[in-house]
């Protein structure tokens, strides 16, 4: 979805993150420095990675704030302008930046609200389907996961072609069955449907295997007791599977919200952000708007940096709310 470094903050919240913090797991036996060992030895071990980390992650963190307070483009470093970009982006009177930016935020919110429930429930459904006594379970699991291994640009081109108005598979199918087909890519809701189907196809497999791994950890005794009490499959799912999966559900929902927020490749390659509107495109996601502002056309780096920081703040807030919602639901 984006570069390794930039995507990783989202990619790495594995199920083991809590234990990754490793509090209180200091190797006690090794506390003292070994005889003859130089004090700088451990620093030599961490140096190669830590230098790269400092230059390409820590420094850019501050550089991004600095750029957002200046008036720079990709071609020249401009003067200090204080909070100018932030006030423009938050000023409803502003006729250019304000409506375009918030239009893209709105588009992204809609995508998050539709894609997250869809991807989470579809993942749950497929995992439940696979979590049964059946032959070829690994085979099906393997197939459902195939698209996840592809690049977002391959995935986007696949669905760009499937829904293409010129002899695309789905267009032809509908023309043969119904006599006509909507122009999927150039009008809505077709454009959004295409983007959502592409995203489903690409990432359902991930949610499925995470849920399946969680379901495999639930004791069969619980189901046995429930079925002795006469609970049917659906009741067992509601009363046993879902509550047992709660921590994993929280993980998947959080990861999914963050991933959906960073939608960019699909609209960029499938719809080009269109169909066009006076606000700059009906499927232009906020990340696509930032990329178009900062790296294409006039390449207004400072403006893009300010937008990115606002979006980052929104994402952190949404993650916190999401966490609160899930943990309070329990009590």
Partner 1 sequence: MATTLDRGLKGDQPTELKVAGAPRRGRLGRVLLYLLLVVVAIFFLLPLVVVFSASLKFSAEILTDTGIIPRDPGFENYQALFARAEFVEWFRTSAIVSTLGTAITIIITSLSAYAFARIDFPFKNLLFGLLITTLVLPGVMFLVPQFKLIGDLGLYDTLPAFALPGLAGVFGVFFMRQFFLGLPVELEEAAYVDGASRLRTFTSIALPLAGPALATLAVITFLAFWNDYLWPTIVCQNNCPLPAGLRLLQRQYTGDPGLVMAGAAVAAIPVLLLYLLLQRYIVQSVASSGIKG
Among 76, 96, 134, 278, binds partner 1 (CB under 8 A): 134
Closest distance of CB 199 from partner 1, Å: 11
Closest to partner 1 by CB, 6 vs 92, is: 6
Among 101, 111, 159, 184, binds partner 1 (CB under 8 A): 159
Closest distance of CB 192 from partner 1, Å: 18
176, two tokens = 């043969």
What residues numbered 23-82 form the site for partner 1, per CB under 8 A?
A: 25-27, 29-34, 37, 39, 41-43, 45-46, 48-50, 52-53, 55-61, 63-64, 67-68, 72, 74
SS3 percent helix, strand, coil of the chain, rounded to 5, is 70, 0, 30
Closest distance of CB 143 from partner 1, Å: 5
Closest distance of CB 93 from partner 1, Å: 26
Closest to partner 1 by CB, 151 vs 277, is: 151
CA distance 249 to 253: 6
What residues numbered 90-109 form the site for partner 1, per CB under 8 A?
A: none
Answer yes or no: are the C-beta atoms of 164 and 175 closer than 8 Å. no
Among 124, 185, 210, 253, binds partner 1 (CB under 8 A): 210
Note whether 129 binds partner 1 by CB under 8 A: yes
Tell which residue, 152, 142, 131, has the closest CA to residue 195.
Answer: 152
CA distance 153 to 146: 15
Own/partner contacts of 311-314, CB < 8 Å, gap of 24 or more, are 311/105, 311/261, 311/286, 311/287, 314/105
The one segment of 98-106, 181-189, 275-283, 288-296 that binds partner 1 by CB under 8 A: 288-296
CA distance 298 to 286: 17
Answer yes or no: are the C-beta atoms of 159 and 194 closer than 8 Å. yes
What residues numbered 181-200 form the site for partner 1, per CB under 8 A?
A: none
What residues numbered 215-274 form the site for partner 1, per CB under 8 A?
A: 216-217, 220, 223-224, 227-228, 233, 251, 255-256, 258-259, 261-262, 264-265, 268-269
Mark 137-172 as b/e (b = at least 16 C-beta within 10 Å).
Answer: eeeebeebeebbeeebeebbbbbbebbbeeebebbe
């Amino acid at each position: 979805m984006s570069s390794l470094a930039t995507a990783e903050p989202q990619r790495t919240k594995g199920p083991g993150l809590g234990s990754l913090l490793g509090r209180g797991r200091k190797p006690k036996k090794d506390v003292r420095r070994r005889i003859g060992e130089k004090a700088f030895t451990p620093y030599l071990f961490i140096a190669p990675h830590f230098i790269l980390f400092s230059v390409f992650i820590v420094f850019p963190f501050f550089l991004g704030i600095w750029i957002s307070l200046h008036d720079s483009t990709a071609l020249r470093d401009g003067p200090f302008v204080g909070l100018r970009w932030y006030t423009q982006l938050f000023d409803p009177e502003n006729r250019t930046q304000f409506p375009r930016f918030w239009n893209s935020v709105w588009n992204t919110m809609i995508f998050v609200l539709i894609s997250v429930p869809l991807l989470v429930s579809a993942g749950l459904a497929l995992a439940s389907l696979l979590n049964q006594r059946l032959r070829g379970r690994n085979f099906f699991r393997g197939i459902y996961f195939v698209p996840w291994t592809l690049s977002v640009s391959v995935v986007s081109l696949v669905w760009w072609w499937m829904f293409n108005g010129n002899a695309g598979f789905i267009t032809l199918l509908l023309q043969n069955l119904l006599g006509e087909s909507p122009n999927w890519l150039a009008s809505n809701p077709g454009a959004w449907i295409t983007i959502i189907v592409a995203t489903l196809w690409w990432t359902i497999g991930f949610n499925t295997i995470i849920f399946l791994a969680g379901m495999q950890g639930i004791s069969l005794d619980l189901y046995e007791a429930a079925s002795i009490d006469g609970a049917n499959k659906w009741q067992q799912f509601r009363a046993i599977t879902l509550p047992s999966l709660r921590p994993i559900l929280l993980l998947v929902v959080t990861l999914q919200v963050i991933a959906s927020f960073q939608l960019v490749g699909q609209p960029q390659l499938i719809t080009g952000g269109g169909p066009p509107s006076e606000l700059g495109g009906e499927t232009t996601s906020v990340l696509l708007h930032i990329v178009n502002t900062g790296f294409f056309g006039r390449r207004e780096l400072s403006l893009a940096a300010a937008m990115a920081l606002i979006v980052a703040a929104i994402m952190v807030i949404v993650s916190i709310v999401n966490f609160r919602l899930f943990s309070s639901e329990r009590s």
